[in-house]
Structure 1
Amino acid sequence: MAMYTRLGTGRYQASEHTQGPWDPGTQHMGPVTALIVHELATTAPRAGLELSRLVVDVFAPVPVADLEIATDVARDGKRVQCLTASVSSGGREYCRASAWRVREAPTPATPVPGPPPLPPPSAEHAGSWLTSGFGYGRALDWRFVTGGPLETGPATAWGRLTTPLVEGEETTPLERLAVFADSGNGISSAIDFGTHLFVNVDLTISLFRTPRGEWICMDAATVVGPSGRGLTRSTLYDESGEVGTATQTLFVAPRQP
């Protein structure tokens, strides 16, 4: 089963593989973000322009239900292009995104760090809440370099999507990165998952090159302030090296008894 089944133009049915950790009836924003990328790929495509920045603002938890995605072109230039997307269900808008495409041209690339080593599977992680507790967690192959789902604090982890994003359609490396990039606050939680919510209200992905391959690595750290807000910052890698960053603004609150 894929994360989504296409129902028509811009319309999709979400499966249990999209479930997030906070409520089984709502989606993790990773699949939703990847689905936005999937739809934007067919919106005014032009050779030589590549997605370089994506910002997703989350208005409310996205239900595990049928979704509609509407896209548009906000600015269509020769060197840059700005796109927009809106995700709705049952007539309600749940999130909105903007994306920048930047033209490709030869430039002197600066040196960047190589990726951390890809570790073998861990039996400890295989039995954790991350890989058994909700649909999205089970839909990825998780490999922790540092940290882990049973620990708080910074973490470095590789992730590989093991489930198709859209039934019968190719999942691109950029979509694979988008699926994983929203997990920074989860793998690097600064406070206990059992006692507090730390839900992101946005996600910003910034890339200086297009990712390649199936595996994406995230080096993530989360800080929580004294007044109910937090911030997660993640460096993103593919198997060739660093590709960009992801940031998330967090709403933090005690869980209700």
Structure 2
Amino acid sequence: MADAFYVPLAEGRFSATGHTAGPWSPDAQHFGPPSALLVRALENVESAHPAELGRVTVEILGPAPVAELAVRAWIERPGRSVELLQAELASADRVVARASAWRIGTADTAEIGTDAGPRLPGPGSVEESPWPEGWQGGYLDAVEWRAVRGGMDVPGPAAVWARQRVPLVDGEEPSGLQRLFAVADSANGVSNYLDPRHWWFINSELTVHLRRTPSGEWIGLDAVTLVGKHGIGTATSILHDGDGPVATGAQALMVRPRQAGGG
């Protein structure tokens, strides 16, 4: 197995490795790597002027198998100041995810920029943290996790640092946004309070609002899961790099007993 989440094939095609396998099934990917692969495609859409992604939503249309995938991206609605980008990820002839992104023309707002909020204690201040019993490896083992508050094996809200042990694409250095999206989809897992052997708490989408591009290898995830009375929940997060908060994330969750099925 290659030491990466994906091995590049022909243009726009990638072979997923076992490092992408999610905690629910060894045959389906955790959606962190596919989200990052979609963002990689969005980043590669040429821009006529300096611009950055301001919001990205990943709609999960079905399981992404640990197999060959195709990804493409395009400009859906062009504009000088703001433009809408689209991307899709397919397995064989089935689209498993779509992403939409607003790309915003940059300007100098340093003088009037707001305080981003308190920083998390750095990852160097804590040891590597375990996941709960019953969670499968693959993706979870391909990322280094360090909890600074709570923990993946402690039910409830948690703040953790995460660092990829392997690159997104074999032979490439991940961008800051790729690193962020590789872990942003983990908010519901990081802040879980339900036993995954008995409950589903699966997200149908991920939305991230960005204020700036993160830097460095470590991404911080300060997350909380809330569940209502009718099987619907949310996982929300503040995403950090070493300089402080960079983005906010949210996931819509389907919550139900595992014996009831996940469809």
Normalised by the length of structure 2, the TM-score is: 0.92
CA contact (8 A) 1:190 1:223 kept: no
Map residues 60-209 of structure 1 onto 2, 5 A cutoff.
60-107=62-109, 108-119=112-123, 120-122=125-127, 125-126=129-130, 128-129=132-133, 133-209=136-212
2:258 paired with 1:246: no
Amino acid at match of 1:182: D
Q: Could you tell me how far apart the structure 1 residues matched to 2:47 and 2:14 are? A: 21
Q: Could you tell me how far apart the structure 2 residues matched to 1:253 and 1:56 are? A: 22
CA contact (8 A) 2:130 2:152 kept: no
Q: Which moved more, 1:247-256 or 1:187-196?
A: 187-196
Q: Secondary structure at the match of 2:56?
A: strand
Indicate how the Cα distance of structure 1 residues 214 and 46 shifts in structure 2: closer, same or farther if over 3 A, else same. farther
Question: Structure 1 residue aligned with 2:9, among 3, 7, 10?
Answer: 7
Give the Å deviation of 1:122: 3.0
Root-mean-square deviation over aligned CA pairs:
1.6
Q: Could you tell me how far apart the structure 1 residues matched to 2:49 and 2:148 are? A: 37
In the TM superposition, structure 1's runs of 4+ consecutive aligned residues that sit over 6 Å from their partners are: none
2:236 paired with 1:237: no
Q: Could you tell me how far apart the structure 1 residues matched to 2:62 and 2:244 are? A: 34
Question: Structure 2 residue aligned with 1:45, among 23, 44, 47?
Answer: 47
Count of aligned positions = 255
CA contact (8 A) 2:238 2:245 kept: yes
Which stretches in structure 1 are left out of the alignment for 5+ residues? none
Amino acid at match of 1:208: R
Give the Å deviation of 1:32: 0.3
Q: Could you tell me how far apart the structure 2 residues matched to 1:225 and 1:127 are? A: 25
CA contact (8 A) 2:23 2:30 kept: yes
Indicate how the Cα distance of structure 1 residues 64 and 251 shifts in structure 2: closer, same or farther if over 3 A, else same. same
Indicate how the Cα distance of structure 1 residues 255 and 128 shifts in structure 2: closer, same or farther if over 3 A, else same. closer
Which stretches in structure 2 are left out of the alignment for 5+ residues? none
CA contact (8 A) 2:163 2:219 kept: yes
Indicate how the Cα distance of structure 1 residues 45 and 169 shifts in structure 2: closer, same or farther if over 3 A, else same. farther
2:35 paired with 1:33: yes
Q: Secondary structure at the match of 2:256?
A: strand
